Chain A
Amino acid sequence: MSGETVMERPRLEERLHACGLRLPPEDLAPLDELITILDQAAEVVRAPLPVSAEPANVLVLPHTRPTD
């Protein structure tokens, strides 16, 4: 994630090329909005958590309990 709220157009294009993506020019503005939303979501998930918090075990999600 960029950490910026709005990515500069050349930087966005550079990142897309680095990912191997070739998108039409009309995609860049809407994509930038989507990335901004993800940046904001990333700020939320990066907020400090207890050290003991481990990633959800996605293969047994329903079995996850506070006491497990």
Chain B
Amino acid sequence: MSAELHALSLAELSRRIASRALSPVELMEACIARIKALDGGLNSVLLLLEERAMAEAGAAEAEIAAGRLRGPLHGIPIGLKDIYETAGIPTTAHSAVLRDHVPAEDATTVRLLREAGAVIPAKLSTWEFALGGTSFDLPWPPARNPWDRRLDPTGSSSGSAVAVAAGLLPGAMGSDTGGSIRNPAAWCGIAGHKPTYGLVSRKGVLPLSWSLDHAGPMAWTAEDCALMMEALAGYDPGDPASADVPAPDFAGAIAEGRRHGLAGLRIGVVRHFFECDLPCTPPVLTAMEDSLRVMRELGAEVFDVTLPAFGEYAAPGNIIARAESWAIHEAWLTEDASRYGAYGRRRLASGAFVTASDYLHAQRRRSLLIARTLEAMEGLDAVVFPTARGTAEPMGVDTMAPKGPPAFFARVFNLVGGPALSVCNGFSPEGLPVGLQIAGRPFGDAMVLRIGDAVERALGTRARRPLLEVVDA
């Protein structure tokens, strides 16, 4: 993107397109030029759909010029994590297993984005099957963190986070089974929203764990995610877990927040998570206190609350995730495990050792955890805690390794099913971004995004972008 365009949020680009100050063709040309100039050093794009995207941008431009603006995503480039199926376009899951997989249909979310006028210019890198970790033994290299290319963006929606943070694309789709939208959002300094389970269809998104998988948006700001959710949220009979409920008014919630701040809202701080259960680094703690201060200044009532200890969520989460992912991959793994990367192969294979009894006990425990969590959140508009314990770590450090405490707080709301958003709430002294997690009651997605928007604006973190130079791959 040009120097000016790449620094604009999806929402601002959308406003310029709507006012015809910016053409979708100009925007797409700028995105493709920036991808070609910078992605050789970032590895966020697996497949660039240049010709097709330019044609679609031209069609969007003609439609808008004829007075038929479809909505805020019309003419906006949106990248897809390469587990979203795309009709006639390879969908590889960043794995040799699916190197030649060309789906016949678009995922429901891809169809919805296209119907809203978005243009799909690229399939984006991921951890293998959204699980494998940052790996160097796959057919394509892993994405690198644009704030410092020596650092890991983490995953699994690594390419989506990197492309947005680097200003290659204004928005992207990710998936979140145990933090795979929120974790890379935090380490790359963007916004990532894990919707309420059932609010966004997963039909056509390659599964990892049926009861923990969520599809959702990643973009520069919470407002951008809200605009994407306007197109994405809704009932899909093709997804057995889809909820037949009215979609929230995301744009209305953002507007409400801009008029009234956070006046009258009650926000719980899960302090034991980040001070006792998984103690965080000083930059994360400083950013957390800054965030709580601005929430109070914006009118919210902010106080500590107690949820079950983080470890209570981790155990059933691990059992459920591994059992379900083994069931999904068993046939491919037993046919030829050598097609997988080492990290993915080992993690998936471990699920073979979970018994049916343990899986069901984990789901029983999950029921109780959901009940206890929602009871603790009664009367609250949201709870907050950090997304990650620290800032990005060097490439090659396996953040999924079993030794040591988890690096992220994300699994809690995959188990509970409620919405959880990560926004950038500060920077370390080294200039690396830090993430705040804002989680809500089921279907409280609009409220969570409203709070995220208010915090981002009050803290002013969205004015800072990574500095990037053209580098040889």
**A residues lining the B interface (CB < 8 Å):** 1-2, 15-16, 19-24, 26-27, 30-31, 33-38, 40-42, 44-46, 49-50, 53-56, 58-66
Contact = CB atoms under 8 A, between A and B. Distances in A.
Nearest to A61: B417
B350 to A, nearest CB: 4
Given A31-B350, A45-B315, A58-B211, A65 B365 contact: no
13 contacts: A1-B353, A1-B354, A2-B353, A21-B349, A38-B318, A42-B319, A42-B361, A44-B312, A44-B316, A49-B361, A56-B363, A56-B367, A61-B241
B468 interface: no
Interface string B308-352: 000110111011001000000010011001100010011101101
Nearest to A27: B346
A37 B375 contact: no
Contact of B243 (A23, A58, A63): A63
Interface residues of B, number: 53
Nearest to B241: A59
**Which 4 pairs of residues, A with B, have the shortest CB-CB distance?**
A62-B442, A55-B363, A58-B211, A44-B315
Contacts of A21: 333-334, 337, 349, 352
A37 B350 CA distance: 10
Contacts of A46: 358, 361
B197 interface: yes
A59 B349 contact: no
A46 B346 CA distance: 24
A36 B418 contact: no
Contacts of B273: none
A44 B310 CA distance: 13
Nearest to A24: B338
Contact of B364 (A33, A36, A41, A55): A55
B59 interface: no
Nearest to B398: A30
Contacts of B374: 64-66
A6 B364 CA distance: 26
Interface string B427-456: 000000000000000110000000000000
A5 B389 CA distance: 28
Contacts of B338: 24
A53 B358 contact: no
A59 to B, nearest CB: 5
Nearest to B326: A19
B367 A53 contact: yes
Contacts of A38: 318-319, 322, 350, 353-354
B363 A20 contact: no
A62 B199 CA distance: 9
A41 B314 contact: yes
Nearest to B414: A61
A33 B403 contact: yes
B240 interface: yes
Nearest to B403: A33
Given A33-B403, A41-B318, A61-B417, 14 more contacts: A15-B353, A16-B349, A19-B352, A23-B346, A30-B346, A33-B402, A34-B350, A37-B318, A42-B354, A45-B364, A53-B367, A55-B360, A55-B367, A64-B371
B366 interface: yes
A19 B370 CA distance: 33
A45 B334 contact: no
